[in-house]
Amino acid sequence: MTDIFEEVNEELRRDTFVDWWKKYRVLIIAVIVLAIGGVGIWEFMKAQREADIERQAKVFDAATSSLEQGDLAGAKTSLQQLSQEKSGFGALANLMLASAEKDQSNDPKLIEPYLRAAAERNDGLVGDIATLKLAYAMADTAELAQIEATVKPLIDKGGHAGALAREIVAAKALATGNIDRARAEYTALSYELDAPQNLKLRASQALGTLPKTAAPAAAPATPASPAATPPAQPAPAQQ
């Protein structure tokens, strides 16, 4: 009797599975295909990315080798090729092109585009260095507001790069005669916890050179009221 029940249960399970498979097999197959395809696409993209990084590394290595051999033209050709990449190598290439242009022409109009491109391609250390160099390159010709807009991301980020960016703003304010703004920035730097000690020292020294804040003028004295004349006393009556 037990055997009969087991056979019946087995038949029921088999029938249930067959019905379930018939109902959902298309969906199950589609999910499996997508899963396999997704893994395949991911592996393909990963392999492509690794190959692209390796290609960029070879170009960068060729550029540095050219620089070591004194072949500036060859180095610039390789760096120009890399400078269009939206990657860390692209940021480095633009930063190196800016340095090469500074050595050759020292023309801010030719240097600044490379520095902007480097800053746009990296939000880490390379991008921070490019932004600071850009602000220094702009310092002599740009308005204070332009320099502030350039270094604002660094100031918002804080840290050493943010402190250096604030120092640039303070120096530009001082150079343009905005003493109050310069004083405010240097004072903030002197108390900035993340600022390097040598930068804090420079800020304190700069504060010492600023003209003293003028004391507020004293309010004019109120003129004294004239003494009231006592009323005349009536003459005593004659006896």
Label residue 77 exposed, middle or buried (CB < 10 Å: 0-12, 13-18, 19+): middle
Report residue 86's pLDDT band, with 50, 70 and 90 as the boundaries: confident
Report residue 7's pLDDT band, with 50, 70 and 90 as the boundaries: very low
Residue pair 186/170 in contact (Cβ under 8 Å)? The answer is yes
DSSP 13-25: HHHHHHHHHHHHH
Please give the Cα distance from 74 to 77 (Å, whole number). Answer: 5
Residue pair 115/137 in contact (Cβ under 8 Å)? The answer is yes
pLDDT digits (tens, 9 = 90+) for 122-161: 888 889 999 999 999 998 889 999 999 999 999 999 889 9
Looking at 66-80, 86-100, 152-166, which range is the least confident one?
A: 66-80
User: What tokens does 185 get?
Assistant: 């920035």
DSSP 166-185: HHHHHHHHHHTT-HHHHHHH
130 Cβ contact partners less than 8 Å away, ≥ 6 residues apart = 91, 94, 95, 98, 115, 116, 118, 119, 122
Report residue 5's pLDDT band, with 50, 70 and 90 as the boundaries: very low
- What dihedral angle (degrees, nearest 10) is formed by the CA atoms of 144, 125, 114, 185? 10
Per domain, the residue ranges of the chain are 13-122, 139-210
Single-letter amino acid, residue 57 = A
pTM of the model: 0.64
pLDDT of residue 4: 40
